[in-house]
Amino acid sequence: MKKSGAEILIECMKREGVKHIFGYPGGVVLNIFDTLYDDKEIELILTRHEQGAVHAADGYARASGKVGVALVTSGPGATNTVTGIANASMDSIPMVVFSGQVPTLLIGNDAFQEADIVGITRPCTKHNYLVKDIKDLARVIREAFHIASTGRPGPVLIDLPKDVTAGSTEFIWPEEIKLRGYNPTYQGNKYMINQAAQMIAHAKKPVIMAGGGVVSSGAWKELKELAELAGIPVTMTLMGLGGFPGTHKLSLGMLGMHGTFYANTAVQNADLIIGIGVRFDDRVTGRTNAFAPNAKILQIDIDPTSIKKNIRADLPVVGDVKNVLKDLLKAAKELKGQQWDAVRSSWLKQIESWKRERPLSYQPVENVIKPEFVVEKIYEVTKGEAIICTEVGQNQMWSAQFYKYDYPRRWLSSGGLGTMGYGFPAAIGAQFACPDKVVFDIAGDGSIQMNIQELATAVIHKLPVKVAILNNGYLGMVRQWQELFFRERYSHTELESGNPDFVKVAEAYGAVGLRATKPSEVEPVIRESMKIKNKPVFLDFVVDWKEKVFPMVPAGAAIDEMIFEEMEEKKEKKLKAVK
Amino acid sequence: MRHTISVLVENKFGVLSRVSGLFSGRGYNIESLSVGETIDPSTSVMTIVTTGDDLVVEQITKQLNKLIDVIKVTDYMEVDHVEREMVLIKVAPRKDDRTEVLQLTEIFRGRIVDSGPTTYTIEITGNEDKITAFIELIKPFGIKEFVRTGKVAIAREGVKKK
Ligand SMILES: Cc1ncc(C[n+]2csc(CCOP(=O)(O)OP(=O)(O)O)c2C)c(N)n1
Ligand SMILES: [Mg+2]
């Protein structure tokens, strides 16, 4: 049967299981929007900015594990997606972005709203396509969903010239996918895995470093089993949070620049680092030649380029993390006469004493809301069950430190790109994916203004997304660096004088706005927001602007060269606001 | 270290820029690059000469392999192989030197592919040593123009790992 390009597109999406598309219309995608108009199975969610659409698709993907889908027009619509695509690419999020393009005959002529989006997104997609012939359309869509969701996941962009979606052809669903250049390695090498088991058995002071790969491969059960079997403490990268229960006694929390004292110290004293689905990003390693100086490194990852990119690897195992961990568990259990408890007890005791020595903490002050306190309260009120999205900056780090993530796919944060403006649209996407879960975006007053227009999207769809703004009146994280490393010269980081009244902004959009200015108001306000089931809520927490994120590893330092709060306090600086 | 890497790719538009973009985006250098269709018109081979320490070259080959349109990557450092490059050199020797230029070309088994009133265009094929040697010898006679194809390489039969 003949179908139009737009109908083929919709049909293929259905076969790929797509239920929600986040998008924004324009001239060259009118055919597609027109076809969607009557469709009962696929819902298009109109965001208020294409960046919002892509982040929403990203949040949808992170929360559900499914491929997120966005649809935008050519030119500015397409270029507006670039940040969102780059963000998904850095964090390995499965996503397919459809962009409209000018008709094939006009491509290259600087036609109205033409942009070479395939060229622009080449370095920030896993793969991308320009469909020049409608006969290729179904195959390309099939390949795109396959590429986005398999191997190390990532975003794929498909550029659709107007004549391709407007034209028509015989629809043939390609049953088979033939990509001779794409064969991810799913099974780890048996020999290497046996070696790995030996390595773990012989290690006296091992640490597991779990990353986003644990979450994306769905390997949390296997990871927990391995850690418990072999008595290995687990630290997580920002992307790995939730891959191992944060409240587990073997959890060390996050490591790296704002990692816990005990995680960073354990890594630096370890004799074996087991990197699982991590790429040893510089925010995690600190100065690379001083990273885990006494440790052998065992690295498990599906992407061979993640291995030996930044950090040596004594034993690499390429494969899907879940499969490799299964095999590794089997190999570890078969080790004869291995007394795990006996070999580990002194190391675990040492870890416990580091945990006691310096837990994560902050100094409460009377009548001033500490941002950490807000995060703690959100944790308490939501019983650790919420999906937490974050923006970028101090808000993100406090959310990583003071909320304990016991479940995977409930921590949605822009890791690799560090994109301010990610959290709110991601929360909207997550709420679509998980309508029954409580979704928070823990935001900064700077970041929230980068995609604040999505309030309209959340209001229209009656989404009870909660945005907790840790309102410190500054681009806080940058201000922190200025305070510590630029002699308190707050060059262009003051926001308060220009900040809107966030409660009124929320109300103007038809959402609910709540405010807390005293510690005693924090919990009631959070509880109040939990009662609202059909509207987004902005919670404006006016917090201590002086608060900084600690511990902190300065740029270029080893990760055990941490700065702590009291070291800064001793300097008795007189902090002045620029206001 | 200098590596000659051969990349078998899908013969599609955009593939060259994926490969060259990978090099520029990640700061790897390309000394030479040559591309041509293989016997199977759906594929092309790119032969890339690059430099870098072992870790860099390992990343390069892995990153290339990661591209969806790349079918196979061979680092000839690890494989017994034959390498060739062709150069076209336009020389303008003085009248008394013309015979010597012809003789040198003969010795290097080059060919004169064009000659003008005052110039010869010489085609030389060979490995890098031979080409460098020839260029050094011919330089004093006055090179007017000079183009090289970039290297191509092919594994020797019964490929042995070095
Ligand atoms: C799009 C974007 N622009 C700039 C930055 C650099 N940056 C990192 S944190 C930060 C400050 C964020 O301020 P705010 O949202 O108020 O969060 P806070 O640190 O105060 O919690 C900035 C500007 C960024 N990460 N993303
Ligand atoms: Mg702020």
Give the residue numbers of A annotated as catalytic, written as ranges: 50, 112-113, 162, 477
DSSP string, A143-195: HHHHHHHSSS--EEEEEEEHHHHHSEEE-----S---TT-----SPPHHHHHH
Q: How confident is residue A570, by pLDDT bands cut at 50, 70 and 90?
A: confident
Contact B66 A303 (CB under 8 A): yes
For residue range B114-159, list pLDDT tens digits in order.
999 999 999 999 999 999 999 999 999 999 999 999 999 999 987 5
In angstroms, the CA A72 to CA A99 distance is: 5
- What one-character DSSP code corresponds to residue B156? P
pLDDT at residue A59, as a whole number? 98
**d(CA A117, ligand 1 centre) in Å:** 27
Give the whole-angstrom CA distance, residue B160 versus residue B81.
9
Task: Give the residue among A418, A529, A415, A533 at the shortest CA–CA distance from A62.
Answer: A415
Residues 6+ apart with CB under 8 A from A342: none
For residue A188, the Cα-to-chain-centroid distance in whole angstroms is: 26
At residue A567, does pLDDT exceed 80?
A: yes
Q: Which of A92, A101, A122, A302 to mutate to test the interface with B (most CBs of B within 10 A)?
A: A122
| Closest ligand 1 atom to Cα of A418 | 25
Closest by CA to A410, choosing from A399, A418, A398, A420, is: A399
Q: Are B107 and B59 spatial neighbours (Cβ–Cβ below 8 Å)?
A: no
In the predicted model, what is the mean pLDDT of residues A227-256? 98
**Do residues A119 and A180 touch, judged by C-beta distance below 8 A?**
no
C-alpha A472 to ligand 2 mean position (Å): 5
Both structure tokens of A549:
């994120």
| Cα separation, A274 vs A251, whole angstroms | 14
d(CA B19, CA B10): 12
Percentage of residues in chain A having pLDDT higher than 70: 99
pLDDT in tens, A273-282: 999 999 999 9
Chain A residues with CB under 8 Å of a chain B CB are 118-119, 122-123, 126-127, 130, 147, 179-182, 303-305, 308-309
pLDDT tier at A573, thresholds 50, 70, 90: low
In three-state secondary structure terms, A554 is coil
Query: Of B82, B91, B88, which is closest to residue B151 (Cα–Cα)?
Result: B82
Chain A / chain B CB contacts < 8 angstroms: 36
Stretch (H or E) spanning B2 = strand B2-10
| Backbone phi and psi for residue A248, each to the nearest 5 degrees, phi listed first | -65, 145
Phi and psi, residue B35, nearest 5°: -130, 140
- Tokens, residue A561: 């060269």
- In eight-state DSSP terms, residue B77 is G
CB A10, CB A16: distance < 8 Å: no
Q: What is the ipTM of this complex?
A: 0.92
Does the beta-carbon distance from B14 to A130 stay under 8 Å? yes
Instruction: Give the other-Cβ count within 10 Å of B39's Cβ.
Output: 5
Q: Is the pLDDT of residue A204 over 70?
A: yes
Return d(Cα B108, Cα B130) in angstroms, integer: 8
* Alpha-carbon span A244 to A215, nearest angstrom: 9
Q: How far is A308 from chain B (nearest CA, A)?
A: 7
Q: How far apart are CA A501 and CA A515, in angstroms?
A: 10
pLDDT tens digits, one per residue of B104-123:
999 999 999 999 999 999 99
Grade residue A60 by pLDDT with cuts at 50, 70 and 90. Answer: very high
Which residues in chain B have Cβ-Cβ distances shorter than 8 Å to A309?
59
What is the structure's pLDDT at A576? 55
Distance from C-alpha of B64 to C-alpha of B149, rounded to nearest angstrom: 22
Residues of B in contact with A148 (CB under 8 A): none
8 Å CB contact of B71 and A181 = yes
CB atoms within 10 A of CB A90: 21
The secondary structure element, H or E, covering residue B143 is strand B143-148
**What is the rounded distance in angstroms from the CA atom of residue A51 to the CA atom of residue A453?**
11
Checking if the pLDDT of A411 tops 70, the result is yes
Q: Per-residue pLDDT for A361 more than 70?
A: yes
> For residues A204 and A324, is the Cβ–Cβ distance under 8 A?
no
Q: Exposure string (b/e) for A360-370, b if CB count within 10 Å is 16 or more?
A: bebeeeeebbb
Of the pLDDT bands very low, low, confident and very high (cuts 50, 70, 90), residue A1 is: confident
In this complex, do A122 and B14 lie within 8 Å of one another by their Cβ atoms?
Answer: yes
Q: Is the pLDDT of residue A340 over 90?
A: no
The H or E element spanning position A23 is strand A20-23
Closest residue of B to A185, CA-based? B66
The CA angle A411-A414-A419, to the nearest 5 degrees, is: 145
Of B21, B70, B71, the CB nearest to A123: B21
Res. B162 pLDDT band, cuts 50 70 90:
low
CB atoms inside a 10 Å sphere around CB A576: 8
Cα A208 from Cα A232, distance rounded (Å):
7
Q: How far is CA A519 from CA A289, A367, A509, A515, A529, in A?
A: 43, 6, 27, 11, 16
Q: pLDDT tens for residues B42-87?
A: 999 999 999 999 999 999 999 999 999 999 999 999 899 999 999 9
Per-residue burial over A233-258, b = 16 or more CB atoms within 10 Å of its CB, e = otherwise: bbbbbbbbbbbbbbeeebbbbbbbbb
At residue A579, the pLDDT reads 44
Residue B81, min C-alpha distance to chain A (Å): 23
Residue A133 CB neighbours (<10 A): 12
- Tens digits of residue pLDDT in A362-395: 999 999 999 999 999 999 999 999 999 999 999 9
For residue A129, the chain B residue with the least C-alpha distance is B14
CA distances from A104 to A30, A114, A579 (A): 16, 11, 55
**Closest ligand 1 atom to Cα of A371:** 21
Reported as a single tens digit per residue, the pLDDT across A528-563 is: 999 999 999 999 999 999 999 999 999 999 999 999
A122 to B21: CB separation less than 8 angstroms, yes or no: yes
Q: Pick the residue from chain B with its C-alpha nearest to A303.
A: B66
The separation between CA A76 and the C-alpha centre of its own chain, rounded to angstroms, equals: 25
The Cβ of residue B141 has, within 10 Å, a number of other Cβ atoms equal to: 17
Q: Is the peptide bond before A245 cis (omega within 30 degrees of 0)?
A: no
